[in-house]
Structure 1
Amino acid sequence: MKIKNVLLIVVTSFCFSCNGQTKKINGVSFVASRDSISKKHINPVLNAQSNFVALMPYSFIRNVENPKVEFNTNREWFGETKNGLLQYAKEFKNVAVKVMVKPHMWLRRGGFTGDLKPATEENWILLENSYKDYILTYAKAAEELNAEILCIGTELGEFVKNRPQFWQRLIKDIRAIYKGKLTYAANWDEYKRISFWGELDYIGIDAYFPLSDNKTPTVQDFEQGWLPHKKEIIKVQKQFHKPVLFTEFGYRSIDFNGKKPWEANRVRGAINLEAQVNGLQAIHNQFWKEDWFAGGFVWKWFHAHDRVGGENNNRFTPQNKPAEKLLSKLYQQ
């Protein structure tokens, strides 16, 4: 009798572990808007079979020569503020959709946040102190709304590389406030250099890896392009023993969308709905079956579903395109 009980416990535990491994984060990056949201804005997310949303409160730096991080101002859209975050999160929580709080920073005069590198120690301190205020404000908000995940930064390569001690201290300060899971959204060409993955709960990657030079890459083309990158991702995962989370992933519905998937500013280009579908299918094929892979957040999803995307749109959103139907099918699996 005792042996049977032990076997039952072992089998039950094993099955529970398996279920935990296979339940993925099927997320959308829900874009902050001018407006509050309601059930009508959430229903399309549910129809896409998404179980998670990334909500993105914004900050900005007016001038990189004076890198003070400003946030939660009356010059921002409602969805970009703390009150907006709390309102959005409440609506999603009401329908059992989980939340990742993912702060983003804009450089007002252009430029890539990953290149932000103050020239003086005085400006480094200004950046650090104001960024700390920004992140701890949203760590408190994440705790208040019971968010499942907090992302502590998005694509800040030079900042992370040059000030490692700041980030170590910041993580400790966040842990004192927020009790949920932590990640950082590393750019696709940055994640191998991050020193603090061991202090976080997920290895976060914005997964815009170059995969194919073809005009309309097939699913096989995309998957072939993933192989060397996947090999490197696995090395980092094994080094830190943390699950990998694609904090962003996605493809534009445009020709040559696998060549430089990170390009968002090049609006012109022939619409290619098939290429977008193939990219999403391939990334799902390569990663969603892996036990070490936690899931991801497709880029990007707008609140006014009936007014965005469509078959004449060459941008990232899958909304009202064949990609949306595919995403719903893949997430349902």
Structure 2
Amino acid sequence: MQWKSALLIIQIFLMVGLLTASCQTNQRSPKMNGISLVASRDSILDTEVNYVAETEANYIALMPFGFLPDSQEPQLKFNINRQWFGERKEGIEHTVSKLRERNLNIMVKPQIWLRNGTFTGDLEFETEEDWKQFEDSYAEFILLYAEISEELDVELFCIGTELFNFVSNRPDFWKNLISEVRKIYSGQITYAENWDKFDQTTIWDDLDYIGVDAYFPISDEASPDIDQIKEGWEPHLSSLESASDKFEKQIIFTEFGYRSIDHALKTPWNSEREHPGLNLNLQSNAYQVLFEQVWSKEWFAGGFLWKWHQGTNSGGLENSRFTPQNKPAEKELKSFYGSFRN
């Protein structure tokens, strides 16, 4: 009888093990289901925190800004009273505390704004003196928010956004900056490079993730269908996987998003006010395909939708901008992010 009892116990353990393995296989890998939250002029309200939490996102990106009057002005201005509250030190601290009430994880992502729409990736100074002045002010900018991120237990810190020339031309500065950030910040670090330069960026070995602002051109059609959008993603998926394999890092889409207009997938980065016509369904379909084609990849750690405004009346059916708020794309977003909580 004893051997029969022992055999029964072994069989039970085997069955439990198989069931556990099956459950683990069916579980979805945790991803950063992120939203880029536009800063507020004043303190964020509880209604606005609840509104963004209802997207079922588990990560929120906050963007404190530094400003350059023009591309040859080397002194970065940041954390000044002229800025919106949400773009300054005290605003980041306040917003993080409010988002924590909803158990949301945080990425702090300091960014540079250049007047007249100059692209930050082309930033370049003519003299060594100007480069040094800019580097000093940029390091002060980044280290301020790295220190705040450490104090607030922020999970992810982004040390720069779309600064290809700066990163390429000043490698010693960036190596030192990353080292200095790691001395004061114990969380994970990334950098956000533009979609067309991420595979040429030289600092991934020193970071925890490859960050890509994923405005890949997908289709020249005014309103491509689902199959055409899937086809348009294929070469980009291949290049992303290759970069992940090369550097042995997962990839984060530090930004991804589409406008609700015709031709939105031809030049997804285009933010000009004039547009060829509204196309709400294309925006929604573009999200659907991105979620289906990218999110399950092992090399992919998650992404941050660009962008979400504070205010429950933002966006709307006549809005042509990037936000999915009060559009069909919002339902697509909530449905997909919500599926990770089921």
TM-score (ref. length: structure 2): 0.91
1:43 Cα offset (Å): 1.4
For 2:71 and 2:61, the matched residues in 1 are separated by: 27
For 1:66 and 1:182, the matched residues in 2 are separated by: 28
1:201 Cα offset (Å): 1.0
Question: Among residues 197, 210, 214, which one is paired with 1:203 in the alignment?
Answer: 210
Contact 2:41 2:86 in 1 (8 A): yes
For 2:296 and 2:34, the matched residues in 1 are separated by: 16
1:286 Cα offset (Å): 1.0
TM-aligned CA distance change 1:323 to 1:180, over 3 Å: same
2:329 is the alignment partner of 1:330: no
Residue aligned with 1:305, SS: coil
Counterpart residue number, 1:51? 58
Residue aligned with 2:219, SS: coil
Count of equivalent residues:
330
Counterpart residue number, 2:3? none
Question: Among residues 171, 174, 182, which one is paired with 1:175 in the alignment?
Answer: 182
Question: Among residues 286, 310, 315, which one is paired with 1:309 in the alignment?
Answer: 315
- How big is the alpha-carbon RMSD for the aligned residues of Structure 1 and Structure 2? 2.2
Residue aligned with 1:63, SS: coil
Which whole-Å deviations, capped at 9, do the CAs of 1:130-183 have from their partners, x for residues lacking one? 100000000001111111000000011110111111111100000000000101
Unaligned runs of 5+ in 2: 1-5
Contact 2:71 2:118 in 1 (8 A): no
Counterpart residue number, 1:67? 74
Question: Among residues 137, 140, 146, which one is paired with 1:139 in the alignment?
Answer: 146
Counterpart residue number, 1:320? 326
1:267 Cα offset (Å): 3.5
Query: 5 Å matches for 1:22-61?
Result: 22-61=29-68
Moved over 4 A (4+): 3-19
For 2:104 and 2:67, the matched residues in 1 are separated by: 28
User: Match for 2:242: what amino acid?
Assistant: K
Residue aligned with 1:28, SS: strand
TM-aligned CA distance change 1:267 to 1:91, over 3 Å: farther
- Percent of pairs with identical residues: 46
User: Match for 1:128: what amino acid?
Assistant: E
For 2:105 and 2:74, the matched residues in 1 are separated by: 33
Moved more, 234-243 or 6-15: 6-15
TM-aligned CA distance change 1:128 to 1:172, over 3 Å: same
For 2:15 and 2:207, the matched residues in 1 are separated by: 34
1:108 Cα offset (Å): 2.2
Contact 1:251 1:258 in 2 (8 A): yes
For 1:172 and 1:154, the matched residues in 2 are separated by: 18
1:12 Cα offset (Å): 7.2
Contact 1:267 1:315 in 2 (8 A): no
2:161 is the alignment partner of 1:154: yes
Counterpart residue number, 2:303? 296
TM-score (ref. length: structure 1): 0.94
Counterpart residue number, 1:256? 263
For 2:256 and 2:225, the matched residues in 1 are separated by: 18
For 1:8 and 1:288, the matched residues in 2 are separated by: 30
Counterpart residue number, 1:81? 88
1:64 Cα offset (Å): 2.2
For 2:20 and 2:88, the matched residues in 1 are separated by: 44
For 1:12 and 1:220, the matched residues in 2 are separated by: 37
Which whole-Å deviations, capped at 9, do the CAs of 1:12-62 have from their partners, x for residues lacking one? 79977985x711111110001201112200112122111110000000012
Unaligned runs of 5+ in 1: none
For 1:205 and 1:10, the matched residues in 2 are separated by: 39
TM-aligned CA distance change 1:81 to 1:114, over 3 Å: same
Question: Among residues 79, 96, 108, which one is paired with 2:103 in the alignment?
Answer: 96
Contact 1:147 1:180 in 2 (8 A): yes
TM-aligned CA distance change 1:109 to 1:314, over 3 Å: closer
1:110 Cα offset (Å): 3.1
TM-aligned CA distance change 1:16 to 1:150, over 3 Å: farther
Contact 1:269 1:314 in 2 (8 A): no
For 1:67 and 1:18, the matched residues in 2 are separated by: 52
TM-aligned CA distance change 1:270 to 1:245, over 3 Å: same
Contact 2:106 2:154 in 1 (8 A): yes
Question: Among residues 243, 262, 267, which one is paired with 1:236 in the alignment?
Answer: 243
For 1:169 and 1:16, the matched residues in 2 are separated by: 41
Residue aligned with 2:291, SS: helix
Which whole-Å deviations, capped at 9, do the CAs of 1:96-155 have from their partners, x for residues lacking one? 011000111111243000110111111111111110000000000111111100000001
1:269 Cα offset (Å): 3.1
Contact 1:157 1:190 in 2 (8 A): yes
Which has the greater radius of gyration? 2
1:198 Cα offset (Å): 1.5
For 2:101 and 2:274, the matched residues in 1 are separated by: 36
